[in-house]
Structure 1
Amino acid sequence: MSTHARYSTNRVEREDRPDGTILLHSPFPLPEPVRTSADWLRRWAAERPDTVFLAERSGPGWRELRYRAALQQVRAVAAALLDRGLSSDTPILILSGNGIDHGVLSLAAHWVGIPTVPVAEQYSLIPGAQKQLAHIVDLIGPQLVYAEDGARFAEGLAIDSLAGIDAVVSGKAGPGQTAFQDLLRGGVSDVDAAALSVGPESVVKILMTSGSTARPKGVLTTHRMMCANQAQYERALPFLRDRPPRLVDWLPWNHVFGGSNNFNQMLANGGSLYIDGGKPVKALIAKTFENNLLMNGTIAYNVPAGFALLRDEMRGNDALRRTYFKDLDMLFYAGASLPRDVWDDLIAMATDVRGQPPLVTTCWGLTETAPACIFQHEPAPSPGILGVPLPGVVAKLVPEDLPRYEVRIKGPNVTPGYFGDPERTAESFDDEGFFKTGDAMTFVDTGVPSRGLRFDGRMSEDFKLATGIWVRAAGLRLEVLAMLAPLASDVVVTGEGRDEIGLLILPSQAVLSDAALTVKDGACLCPPVQSEIARRLAVLSDPARGSSDRICRALILSDPPSMADGEITAKGNLNFAKVLNLRKSLVDRLYTSDDRGVIRIG
C-alpha cells in the first residue's frame, strides 16, 4: 500500500471510453465510515475523555474543552434546542466565526437532526453587506440565530428578515436575546430518542457557496458526506491514526474546508483543534505568530498567502520556526498553488528543524464534495499537483479541448443537491449521476495517470474574443499573478467580445504605498510601477503565444473590491462578473483611445 508508513501512494485505475472520456478511481477500498458525527464524539469521550477537543484564546493562555465535557455540553444544548421546537425543518443560522460555543452548538444540532447554516461574519459586520445576509435568511428560513457577541453582531441581528426569530448570543445579550449559557443548562426533551431518527442521509449543514459566479446557493451537506470524507483521509494518511492530530487553525467554519474538513478531521481522529484568532492579513497575522508559538500543530492547513507570511516571519524568528516544524506531519496548502519560492523555503526550514520535511501536499474539491475528492497522497516534485481520486471517488474526465478535460465526480461525499432548488440540482448532475463541477484539469503526465492531475481553470470563466478565439481566463490569471508578484494582489482578465485581452489589476499594498503614486478617475498612476508591469507582461505579448493568451493592455485600479456590492465573496475571492459589470467604464477605457492610466504592452 505504501512506500512510507505514514501515507499511501498515488495509485489510480483508468478506464478509457470510445468517446475519449476517461474514468479514474482509486484501487484502495474505502474504509467503512461511521454513521454520523455523533459516533466520533461518543468514541473519544469514552476513550480519551481528558484530551483537549477545542481550545480558544483566553488571556495569556487557552480556554479548553475536553472530550468528556464536550459530550456533556452537546447533549445539554441538544435537549434545549428540542425544547424550543427545533427540528430538521427549522435551521439554525450562525452569524459569527470559529469558537467553542459555535462548535458545541453545531454538534448539538447535528446530533438531533437540526441543520446549521454558518455564514461569513462579514455579512453582519461590514456596512452594506447585510443584503447578502438578508438573501440567505429569505432562502433558508431559519428559526434560531446565533452570534458570539450580541453587541458586535447587533447590525446583523437587527435586519428585517430576522425580526421575530429567536436569537442566542454567548456574550452581551440584548433585550429579548437568550444567553448561550442558558442552553448549557439543558432541557427535558429526550435527546436519545431524537437521535434515533438521524442517519447518514440526514442534512447536517447548509453551506452557502461563495457566490463568485452567481448568487450564493445552499449546498446540502449530510452526515454521509462528512463521514465518508474522513474515512477517505484515513486511508490516504495513515499517520492520522498513529497519534491524535493537533491543529492550530484560522480557516473559517462557514467554508467547507475549515468547517467540514479541518473541524471533522480533529473530531474523527480524537485530535485537538486550537482556534487561531489571527488571519493572513497585515492587521491580524501577528496573532497567528503568537498562537503558533503557544501551541504547535502536527498538521498545518493554510492558504498560500498565509504560508508566505509565516515563511517571512520565520526567517528571523528562530523560536517560531523550531516550534512550528517540530512535530509537523503534514503541511497542506489550499485555495491556490503554493509559489515555488515559498515551497522551497518551507521544505528547507522543516528539514533544518527536524531532519526531514513533512508531507507537503494539497487536494481539490468543492463545497458540494465535502470537500476532498482528488488528493496528492505522496510527496510531489513541485507545487500545483492535485493528485488522484480518493478511495470511493470516481472522476469522470470529459474531453473539452485536449489535453484539457472537464471534471465530473461521483462518490459518497457528493451532495444530494441544493436547498430549495430542485431545478439547479437536476442541472448539476449528468445522466450517469456524476456531479458536473465546472472545473477543468490536465494530466501531469498523460502516459502515467498516477502522477496526478493539475487544475486548468473554471470553465465558466472562459470567454471568446471577437475573433472567435477562446481565452482560458482562469489559467491565464494564475500565470499573470505569478509574473506580477508582488505588484498585484489580484487581476481580472478582460476581452470578451473584444479584439484583444486586457487586465484590471488590483495593486498590492506595496504599490499603494509608493510615493510616486497618484490616483485619477478610478485608476492608479505610478510611472515606475506601470513601466515594470509593461516589461513583465511583454513576455505574454510574444506573437508566438497566440492571441488567446497575449495581453495587450492593463489598468491599475485605485478602489478596492467591495463586499457590499458583491465584488468580493465571503471567501475573499473576486466575483469577476460583478467587477466587470460595476467597473464597465474602466473596461471601456481599456479599449478606447482614452489613455488615462492605461498600460500598453507590446
Structure 2
Amino acid sequence: MADGQVLPPFRKLAQKQPDIEMRRTDEGVIYLTPRQTPGDRPKTIPHCLAERAQEHPDRPFIRERNPKTDAWEGLTYGEAQQVTDSLAQAFLNMGAGPDAPVMILSGNSVRSAMVILAAQKIGAPAAPISVPYSLMSTDFDKLKHCFGAVKPAVIFVEQYEPFKPALAALELGDCKVFTAEETSDDVLAYDDLAKTPATDAVTKAMDTLTDDSIGKYLFTSGSTGMPKPVPQTQGAMCSMIAGQEGLRDDARDPDHDPDAIPQALDWLPWNHISGSNVNFNGMLWAGGTFWIDGGKPTPALFHVTLKNLKEVSPHSFGTAPIALSMLAEAMEEDEELLNAFFKNVRAVGYGGATLSDDLYDRIQDLAIKATGKRIPIVTMYGATETQGITVVHWEAERVGLIGLPLPGMTIKLVPVGAKLEVRVKGPSVMPGYLNMPSKNAEVFDEEGFYCLGDAAIMVDENDPNKGIIFDGRVGEDFKLSSGTWVSVGTLRPDFNAALSPLVFDSVICGQDKNYIGALIWPSPATMEHMIKDKGSPEAAMMALYGELEKKAKAFNAAEPGSSRRIKRIKVLTEPPSIDAGEITDKGYVNQRATQDHRAKDVADLFTDPAPQGVLVL
C-alpha cells in the first residue's frame, strides 16, 4: 500500500476492545489483567460433544478427504457421539483409565479425533505424539521417552505399516495396539472397536469428570532436552474456551449471521495446543464443522491447502507466516482462489514466527481487492504449559503484536537483565509437569506465576491497551565482545524476512565475538527452482550466494548498529535434525542446539581468513 494512501476500513472483529488494568511495583514489575471476565464454557470437553450431538445430531462435525476417492468424508455430531461411546467402552475393556492413557502416534484424522474424545470420556488421558518421533527419527529416543513417561494402556496408529518400526522399538508389554489398516499382525482393528456395545460404565465414568480430570498429555517441543509431559486438565481446556467467550461481541460485526455454521480448515497438529485445544476444541464448542487440511506449508503439499480453500471457504483460517506468503503469492495469480478465501473469513491468523510488514501489506491489498475492506490479522501467544495466554482481539494497524491477556489470565512482566520476562497465572495454566517435581519448582515463581522464558515489551508504557510485543527468548540473546547485546528473537525473523524467499530459516551466532554471523538453510523450493534454471546444483549454489549477498547487504545498510548487522553467512546443506534437537516438531529451530551440533560450521563463521563457503559481507 502506497504511503499517504487513504485506507479502507477494517472488517470488524466480533470481539470486545482492550480494557486492561495495569499495576507497577517499585522494582519495575508490571501486572496486566483484563477487566473483562471469562464467558460461558462447557463442563468438560466430552460433555460439550454430548450437548452438541443432542442439539444438532445431523450437522457435519468433522471431515477429511478420502485418499482413494478424493471426496470429503466424515461424521456428524450424532455419529461422533455414538462412535466415541463405543470406543470409550472398548478402552475400558482394555484397561484404560485415569492412570492408563491412550496414546496416538499418527496424525490428524477423523479416527484420531474420535480416539482423543473417546479416551477423555472415561477419564483416560489422550496422548497424541509428534508424528516425526515415529516416522522421521532413526533412534526413536523421543518416542521411547514419551511412552515411558505416560505408560499408555492402548496405542492407536491410523496406518500400521509405516509405524511398525517405531512400535517395535517400544517395550509394549501389556499395552495393546489398534489400527485402521488391515494387517496379519496381532493388533486390533479400529472398525471393530468402534462397534463395541456401550454400557452405562461409560456414562458413570464421564459423570466423575471434574476440572481436575486430565484430558490429555501434550508434550513440549523438546527444544531444551527431552519433551516434557504436560497434563491438560478439563478445567484448563474449558477455561481456554471461557477466555475467548469473554471477549466475544457479535454486535460489533455488522455482517454477523447468527445462523451461519462456523467452518474451519486447519492442518495444525493435535499434539500441540494451537491445533488441538484452541482450534479443534473451539470449533466443537461453536458447533461448527472442522475440515482437516491434508496440506501443509511446504512446496510439496501446499497445493492441497489451496484446493481445499477453494472448496471450503472457511470462516477461520490460521497458519505459519511462510504459508501466508505462499497463499498471498497464489491469490495474486488466481482470482477464483482470492474470492473463495475472502468469501467468509473473518480474520487471518498467524503464529510461530513474526509476520513481515511486506507480507502484511500484500494480504491487505488482496483483502481490499476481494472485499473492499482490510482484514484483521491476528495472533495468539501461549505455550503447552499454559494454553493461550494473549490474543490480538482488535483491528491492529501493525504487525509484531502478541496481543493482551485473555479474560481470567494475568500477565506479569519481570525485569531480567535488559529484558522483561513473561510470566502468567490463570485457570488454564498447568498444575505441573507429570512426575517432575524438581522441574516444577523451577518454572513457577514465588507468586505461583509460570515463567515462560520469553521476553516482551509494551507498545506504550503508559497505555497497556496498545498491546505487547514479543521480544525474543531471554536465554537466546547474547553479547558481542564489545558488550553489545544481540536480540536473537527480533533479529532472526527480520533477517529471514529480508532474505525471503531464499531462506527456510537461520541461526544467529556471535557470542563473545567481534561481529554477528549466520548459518542459513536455503528454501527447498528456491533451490529446486534455481537448479532447474541453472542446470546443476553447483551452479544453483553459486547463484544462491549471489542473491544472498545482495539481500544481506541491503539489510545491513538499513541497520544502524553492530547488534543488527550480519557480517558473515554460511549455507547449510544438511537439513536440521530432529534427533539432535536442532528442530522441534513445530518446525522451530533451536538456536543453541544447532550451534552445539554444528560447532565446526559456527567456527568457520569466525575464522580468518574466511574458509571456502563462507560469505563475507
Task: Report the TM-score when normalising by structure 2.
Answer: 0.91
C-alpha offsets along residues 530-573 of structure 1, whole Å, 9 cap, x if unaligned? Answer: 34434443466679844433332221112221224332211122
Deviation at 1:462, TM superposition (A): 1.7
Map 1:130-169 onto structure 2 (within 5 A).
130-162=140-172, 164-169=174-179
C-alpha offsets along residues 200-251 of structure 1, whole Å, 9 cap, x if unaligned? Answer: 1111111111112322111111111110111111122334993432101111
Aligned to 1:120: 130
Q: Aligned pair 1:418/2:433, yes or no?
A: yes
C-alpha offsets along residues 114-150 of structure 1, whole Å, 9 cap, x if unaligned? Answer: 0111111122222515222122112222221110011
Q: Is the 8 A contact 2:13 2:346 kept in 1?
A: no
Deviation at 1:577, TM superposition (A): 2.4
C-alpha offsets along residues 7-48 of structure 1, whole Å, 9 cap, x if unaligned? Answer: 211221111111111100111111243221122112111111
Q: Is the 8 A contact 1:129 1:563 kept in 2?
A: no
For residue 61 of structure 1, the aligned residue among 68, 71, 86 is 71
Deviation at 1:339, TM superposition (A): 2.5
Larger displacement relative to structure 2 (589-598 or 219-228): 589-598
Distance 1:4 1:592, change over 3 A: closer
Q: Aligned letter for 1:315?
A: E
Deviation at 1:305, TM superposition (A): 1.3
Q: Aligned pair 1:231/2:247, yes or no?
A: no
Once residues 176 and 337 of structure 2 are traced to their aligned partners in structure 1, the CA distance between those partners, rounded to angstroms, is 44
Q: Is the 8 A contact 1:151 1:172 kept in 2?
A: no
Map 1:106-255 onto structure 2 (within 5 A).
106-128=116-138, 130-162=140-172, 164-186=174-196, 187-188=198-199, 190-239=201-250, 242=258, 243-255=260-272
Q: Aligned pair 1:569/2:577, yes or no?
A: no
Secondary structure of 2:281's match? helix
Once residues 457 and 67 of structure 1 are traced to their aligned partners in structure 2, the CA distance between those partners, rounded to angstroms, is 42
Gaps of 5+ in 2: 1-10, 251-255
Map 1:170-569 onto structure 2 (within 5 A).
170-186=180-196, 187-188=198-199, 190-239=201-250, 242=258, 243-370=260-387, 372-401=388-417, 404-509=419-524, 510-511=526-527, 513-514=529-530, 526-538=541-553, 545-569=560-584
Once residues 567 and 544 of structure 1 are traced to their aligned partners in structure 2, the CA distance between those partners, rounded to angstroms, is 28
Distance 1:379 1:585, change over 3 A: same
Q: Aligned letter for 2:20?
A: V
Distance 1:502 1:309, change over 3 A: same
Q: Aligned pair 1:75/2:91, yes or no?
A: no
Deviation at 1:384, TM superposition (A): 1.5
Q: Aligned letter for 1:26?
A: P
Distance 1:514 1:349, change over 3 A: closer
Q: Is the 8 A contact 2:153 2:174 kept in 1?
A: no
Q: Is the 8 A contact 1:55 1:64 kept in 2?
A: yes
Q: Is the 8 A contact 1:129 1:565 kept in 2?
A: no
Deviation at 1:482, TM superposition (A): 1.8
Q: Is the 8 A contact 1:81 1:109 kept in 2?
A: yes
C-alpha offsets along residues 65-98 of structure 1, whole Å, 9 cap, x if unaligned? Answer: 1111111111111111111111111111111111
Aligned to 2:38: 30
Once residues 455 and 93 of structure 1 are traced to their aligned partners in structure 2, the CA distance between those partners, rounded to angstroms, is 34
Gaps of 5+ in 1: none
Secondary structure of 1:97's match? coil
Deviation at 1:512, TM superposition (A): 6.1
Deviation at 1:340, TM superposition (A): 2.5
Secondary structure of 2:508's match? strand
Deviation at 1:527, TM superposition (A): 4.7
Secondary structure of 2:385's match? helix
Q: Is the 8 A contact 2:91 2:154 kept in 1?
A: no
Aligned to 2:6: none
C-alpha offsets along residues 353-384 of structure 1, whole Å, 9 cap, x if unaligned? Answer: 334344321121111111x2111111110222
Distance 1:322 1:75, change over 3 A: same
Task: Report the TM-score when normalising by structure 1.
Answer: 0.93
Q: Is the 8 A contact 2:13 2:347 kept in 1?
A: no
Secondary structure of 2:171's match? helix
Q: Is the 8 A contact 1:224 1:413 kept in 2?
A: yes
- Provide the identity percentage: 34
Deviation at 1:5, TM superposition (A): 7.3
